[in-house]
Amino acid sequence: MKQVTISNTFMTLMVLDYGATIQKLLLKGKDGSYTNVVVGYNHPSRYLLDENILGASVGRYAGRISKGGFDLDREKFFLHQQEGVHLHGGKEGFHQKFWNIEEVNTKENPHVKLSYKSKHLEEGYPGNLTVNVTYRLMSNALQIVYEGVTDRSTVVNLTNHSYFKLDSNPYIDDCELQLNCPYLLETKENLLPTGDIIPVRKTELDFLLSKEIGVKRLDTVFIKDTGSEKVGELHSNLSGISMKVYSNQPAVVVYTPPDFPGICFENQNYPDAPNQPDFPNSILRPGEIYNNISIFKFDIEQ
């Protein structure tokens, strides 16, 4: 397993080739000390046994797909499923693959670029798909860019699965969360979308104004305000660290796991879009370029 480290004045990023995984993101404080703002393992080999997809790149389709597959151009494609749900790319998604390290730049706006080639019918998906991810440090922000091209029409939905944790608390309940997301996708008990879109205002999932996350665990598809790139903001009163999230994607899955502290902002298309004609298009055709851009910008109170 290979590990790459890049740094600038404000941050240090450690990336693994396995799963194109963010292992550590160290934020420099006012006193010169560093805070790791993502959940991860110290030893890279631990990721081979990880079931939480810590910091990894998820694909070929992040989120859930129903019906054991999807129809595309009058052809049915069958996907791996458990209890009627296909999740995060299948039995062995992109987060369980070794990616190639293509570029490492340690100078101005340092970045590392990794790539993976997914063969036709890998996990049941059509087309030879080539994807890459670029992690770039831009002052006090981390930019993540996913791109993809295919030789045959397919469906694509990539995301990063980092769990952010801004302080040393053994829980995340006291962190304040604000989401620029006026709607969410209604889901069934198995978390597959019903197809309905629900306003969040005056519900327990209303984070339009900043409030504590609380004890309720989230695994929710929020729909971003179409008029803004900003997804939302996370703030810790304990550490004074804030993180603003930006994305060019229509939705974000906000996930707070039940068994350890952390919060995911999975910027992506809607789950099950291949089977929901009213959802945003998830089809990538030959000659097109899939593009998913996220920015995580950090600030520390004086």
User: Could you tell me the sign of the dihedral formed by the alpha carbons of 263, 266, 270, 271, in that order?
Assistant: negative
Q: Which among 161, 212, 233, 235 is annotated as catalytic?
A: 161
Question: Does the annotation mark 186 as catalytic?
Answer: no
Token pair of 166 as six digits: 């801004």
Position 65, amino acid: I
Residue 143 CB-density burial (10 A; 0-12 exposed, 13-18 middle, 19+ buried) = middle
In 10 A of CB 152, how many CB atoms? 15
Question: Does the annotation mark 266 as catalytic?
Answer: yes
Rounded to a whole number of angstroms, the distance between the first and last alpha carbons of the chain is: 39
| Paired residues of 39 in beta bridges | none
Cis-peptide, bond into residue 60, ω within 30° of zero? yes
**171, 164, 249: which is closest to 217 by C-alpha?**
171
Q: Which among 122, 123, 233, 266 is annotated as catalytic?
A: 266
Catalytically active residues are 161, 266
